[in-house]
């Protein structure tokens, strides 16, 4: 592998971790999947980043318990979470673009039919919290509370027992979103999605990190897909 291709591959690894964690439902399984894909070798006919996504997609074990087939979930995550064009996502999963578009349409219909869940939002900026509430409710979910600091988040999670937590990482003077989530998960098994403007900082595999990470700003579809994967895929911290 030449130096330029190797440098591109190194830059792609954090985002492959995000994809793999969302696909498998945990940090541990996702990071192990990326390592396994790298050991297995990458397709030579794709760019380094697409080749790594493809290797992860092909190596991932299929979980037949999901309501949405694996290749459709992969396409959803690649286009909505990783922001790939449909043609690139199709190349990653090995489908013609026209077939990928049909599969995405079917997957989007399935996402919209999935039952809603109760969501606790952890966000210290009131305007941003209001925007997140509107996005979450447009996705068909019910926001049961908004916490602005770490202590409030822990107490609200304890009393409300939400089906999902949507957390900002930086709560300003009110503490740290990851610390709040770690405290919450000591008491209850609740899937969590983290929202951050700097996702690569949470994808180093150097410490306990989230499985579900959405980049700010995000689209409602990305939230809907991440919500489905979080609820169906397991815990956020492995």
Cis peptide before 64 (omega within 30 of 0): no
- Position 114 scores a pLDDT of 67
Could you say which residues of the chain have pLDDT below 70?
A: 1, 63-65, 112-115, 205-210, 219-220, 232-238
| Complete domains list, the chain, with CATH | 3-112 (1.20.140.160), 115-233 (3.40.50.2300)
CA distance 162 to 32: 29
- Which H or E run contains 22? helix 3-24
CA distance 113 to 132: 21
* Structure token digits, residue 158: 């304890």
- Position 208 scores a pLDDT of 61
Cβ partners under 8 Å of residue 108, min gap 6: 76, 221
- Position 110 scores a pLDDT of 77
Q: What is the pLDDT of residues 150-191, one digit of tens each?
A: 999 999 999 999 999 999 888 888 788 888 998 998 999 888
Cβ partners under 8 Å of residue 84, min gap 6: 50, 53, 78, 92
The SS3 assignment for 86 reads helix
> How buried is residue 153: exposed, middle or buried, by Cβ count under 10 Å (0-12/13-18/19+)?
buried
Structure-derived torsion over alpha carbons of residues 127, 235, 31, 48, reported in degrees to the nearest 10 = -50
Closest to 212 measured CA to CA, from 30, 7, 8: 30
- Position 211 scores a pLDDT of 73
């Amino acid at each position: 592998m030449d130096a330029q291709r190797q440098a591109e591959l190194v830059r792609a690894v954090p985002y492959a971790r995000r994809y793999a964690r969302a696909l498998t439902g945990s940090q541990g399984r996702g990071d192990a999947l990326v390592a396994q894909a790298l050991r297995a070798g990458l397709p030579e006919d794709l760019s380094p980043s697409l080749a790594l996504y493809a290797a992860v997609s092909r190596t991932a074990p299929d979980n037949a318990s999901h309501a949405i087939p694996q290749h459709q979930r992969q396409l959803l995550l690649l286009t909505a979470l990783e922001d790939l064009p449909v043609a690139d996502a199709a190349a990653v999963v090995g489908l013609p673009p026209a077939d990928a578009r049909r599969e995405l349409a079917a997957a989007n219909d399935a996402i919209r039919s999935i039952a809603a869940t109760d969501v606790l939002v952890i966000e210290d900026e009131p305007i941003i919290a209001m925007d997140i509430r509107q996005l979450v409710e447009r996705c068909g979910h019910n926001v049961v509370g908004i916490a602005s600091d770490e202590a409030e988040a822990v107490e609200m999670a304890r009393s409300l027992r939400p089906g999902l937590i949507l957390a900002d990482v930086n709560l300003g003077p009110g503490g740290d979103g990851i610390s709040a989530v770690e405290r919450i998960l000591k008491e209850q098994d609740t899937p969590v999605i983290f929202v951050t403007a700097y996702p690569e900082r949470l994808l180093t595999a150097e410490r306990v990190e989230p499985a579900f990470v959405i980049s700010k700003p995000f689209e409602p579809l990305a939230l809907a897909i991440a919500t489905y994967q979080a609820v169906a895929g397991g815990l956020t911290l492995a």
